[in-house]
Amino acid sequence: MSLHSAAAHLVTLAEGAENGGNHDSLSPYLTGFGAFGTLLLLLWITTRFNRDR
């Protein structure tokens, strides 16, 4: 297997051509609110440990 054919195979695999390229994706709202909630949780944890004594 040459380098060119191996690279071509990896590109088609990365494109999702093996299963037609169609798949269900996550909701952008779910992803956004999940990330926002995670960042708020991390902010809350950081402020709890960063109190003036």
Dihedral, 6, 9, 11, 14 alpha carbons, nearest 10: -120
Question: Which band of pLDDT confidence, cut at 50, 70 and 90, is reported for residue 49?
Answer: confident
**Band of residue 4 on the pLDDT scale cut at 50, 70, 90:** confident
pLDDT at 21: 52
What is the rounded distance in angstroms from the CA atom of residue 36 to the CA atom of residue 48?
A: 18
For the chain, domain boundaries: 24-53
Tell me the pLDDT tens digit for each residue of 5-31: 888 887 777 776 555 555 577 788 999
Is the model's pLDDT at 35 over the cut of 80? Answer: yes
Q: pTM, whole model, 2 decimals?
A: 0.49
Please, which pLDDT band fits residue 38 given cuts at 50, 70 and 90? very high
Three-class DSSP category at 40? helix
